[in-house]
Amino acid sequence: MTITDERASNPAAGGADRPIGYGRIQRKEDPRFIRGKGNYIDDIVLPGMLHSAILRAPVAHATLVSIDTTRALAHPGVVAVITGKDLLGLKLAWAPTLSADVQAVLVTDKVRFQGQEVAFVVANDRYAARDALELIDVEYDVLPPVIDARKALDPGAPVIRTDIEGKTDNHIFDWEAGDAAETDAVFASADVVISQEIVYPRVHPAPMETCGAVADYEPIEGHLTLYETTQAPHAHRTLFAIVAGIPEHKIRIVSPDIGGGFGNKVGIYPGYILAVVGSIVTGKPVKWVEDRSENLMSTSFARDYIMQGEIAATKDGTILALRTNVLADHGAFNATAQPTKYPAGFFHIFTGSYDLKAAHCKVTGVYTNKAPGGVAYACSFRVTEAVYLVERLVDILARKLEMDPAELRIKNFIQPEQFPYKNKTGWEYDSGNYEPAMRLSMQIAGYEELRREQKEKRERGELMGIGVSFFTETVGAGPRKHMDIVGLGMADGAELRVHPTGKAVVRLSVQSQGQGHETTFAQIVAEELGIPPEDIDVVHGDTDQTPFGLGTYGSRSTPVSGAAVALVARKVRDKARFIAAAMLETRPEDLEWEKGRWFVKGDPSIGKTIAEISMGAHGTVELPEGIDGNLDAEVTYDPPNLTFPFGAYICVVDIDPGTGHVKVRRFIAVDDCGTRINPMIIEGQVHGGLTDGVGMALMEIIQFDEDGNNLGGSFMDYLIPTAMEVPNWETGFTVTPSPHHPIGAKGVGESATVGSPPAVVNAVVDALAPFGVVHMDMPCTPGRVWEAMQGRPRPP
Contact residues for ligand PCD (CB under 6 A)? 207, 231, 260-263, 376-378, 513-517, 520, 552-558, 673-678, 681-682, 685, 688, 745-750
Q: Phi first, then psi: what are they for 380, rounded to 5°?
A: -80, 85
Q: Return the number of the residue (546 or 675) whose C-beta is nearest ligand PCD.
A: 675
- Give me the least distance between CB of 544 and ligand PCD, in Å please: 22
Strand partners, 174: 364
What separation, in Å, do the N-terminal and C-terminal C-alpha atoms of the chain show? 49
- Give me the least distance between CB of 517 and ligand PCD, in Å please: 5
Q: Return the number of the residue (78 or 508) whose C-beta is nearest ligand PCD.
A: 508
Three-state DSSP state, 155: coil
In sequence order, what DSSP letters do the residues of 41-59 get, joined into one string?
A: GGG---TT-EEEEEEE-SS
- Give me the least distance between CB of 561 and ligand PCD, in Å please: 8
Count, residues in the chain = 796
Strand partners, 600: 591, 603
How far is CA 326 from each of CA 197, 350, 385, 603, rounded to the nearest angstrom? 9, 12, 10, 66
- Give me the least distance between CB of 207 and ligand PCD, in Å please: 6
- Give me the least distance between CB of 688 and ligand PCD, in Å please: 6
Q: Return the number of the residue (122 or 677) whose C-beta is nearest ligand PCD.
A: 677
Q: What is the 3-state secondary structure (H, E, C) of 253-302?
A: EECCCCCCCCCCCCCCCHHHHHHHHHHHHHCCCEEEECCHHHHHHHCCEE
Question: Residue 249's CB: how many other CB atoms inside 10 A?
Answer: 11
- Give the integer Cα–Cα distance in Å for 295 and 291: 6
- Give me the least distance between CB of 524 and ligand PCD, in Å please: 8
Helix axes 751-767, 679-698, angle to 10 degrees: 40
Pairing, β 251-254 against β 223-228: parallel
How far is CA 70 from each of CA 67, 76, 80, 107, 141, rounded to the nearest angstrom? 9, 12, 11, 18, 21
- Give me the least distance between CB of 1 and ligand PCD, in Å please: 16
Pairing, β 536-539 against β 504-508: parallel
- Give me the least distance between CB of 523 and ligand PCD, in Å please: 8
Helix (H) or strand (E) holding 469, with range, is: strand 463-472
- Give me the least distance between CB of 413 and ligand PCD, in Å please: 22
Q: Return the number of the residue (262 or 354) whose C-beta is nearest ligand PCD.
A: 262
Q: Return the number of the residue (473 or 654) whose C-beta is nearest ligand PCD.
A: 473
Peptide bond into 465 cis (omega under 30): no
Q: Spell out a b/e string for 98-119, using b for 16 or more CB atoms within 10 Å of the CB, else e.
A: bbebbbbbbbbebbbbbbbbbb
- Give the integer Cα–Cα distance in Å for 450 and 396: 20
- Give me the least distance between CB of 639 and ligand PCD, in Å please: 12
